[in-house]
Amino acid sequence: MAPAWAAALLSEVCADAGVAEPSLRWRRAARVASSGVTRWGAGTVAVTSGSDPIDQRLTLLHELAHWVAPQARRRRGRVAHHDAAFYGVAFGLYERHGIPAAEALAREGGRYPSSLRHARAMGVPGAETAWRERRVALRERARLRRPVRVLVPEHTVRLVRDGRWTRCGVCGVRIVGPVLVRLRRRSGRHLLLGTG
């Protein structure tokens, strides 16, 4: 059985949108986050509710946004994708039904990162910052992920003079400081890594 607040919220959203109510299926799970699915053909909204009350509410509103999204965007009984039109409805519902903008951005952005782009275009408070932070994080992750590959396989260093420098005669790398001191005393091996 769905809790009373959820049934009331569903009725209110559908009445505001002027659409028939779906039947609401509600079950509880021993976890924090909620999840949901809307089946337009079957006329159902199903929520698996976790323990976090804001996430329960946001999840139901997210599914109701699928339910009330404009008819033209539904295809073959399936709900609309998470596109600009969908988020136009969804962030509107979050704002009207008590989800603070920061919560909506954090949770929606956590599940569907593309939502931040739409929220930013809609001028949702804080979306500009959230979108920028995500871009920085993505760039950082890409930088860390860039594969390191072996440019020259492991070999015995052969010290050669190059003007005032000393290089490895095999791979050409300049050798300086303590490494040079050590290699002068005792031969060593190295390999040349790069991201090129």
What minimum distance in Å lies between the beta carbon of 185 and Zn ion?
A: 17
SS3 193: strand
Question: What does the DSSP assignment read for 71-105?
Answer: GGG-BTTBPP-SSHHHHHHHHHHHHHTT--HHHHH
What minimum distance in Å lies between the beta carbon of 52 and Zn ion?
A: 18
**Nearer Cβ to Zn ion (129/156):** 156
**Nearer Cβ to Zn ion (82/131):** 82
Cβ proximity of 31 and 48 under 8 Å? no
Q: Which secondary structure element, helix H or strand E, spans residue 152, and what is its range?
A: strand 149-156
What is the C-alpha to C-alpha distance for residues 57 and 53, in angstroms, rounded to an integer? Answer: 6
What minimum distance in Å lies between the beta carbon of 196 and Zn ion?
A: 16
**Nearer Cβ to Zn ion (141/161):** 161
What minimum distance in Å lies between the beta carbon of 170 and Zn ion?
A: 4
Binding interface with Zn ion (CB under 5 A):
168, 170-171
What is the C-alpha to C-alpha distance for residues 107 and 56, in angstroms, rounded to an integer? Answer: 11
What minimum distance in Å lies between the beta carbon of 94 and Zn ion?
A: 13
**Nearer Cβ to Zn ion (2/168):** 168
Cβ proximity of 119 and 130 under 8 Å? yes
Q: Indicate the residue whose CB is closest to Zn ion.
A: 168
**Nearer Cβ to Zn ion (72/142):** 72
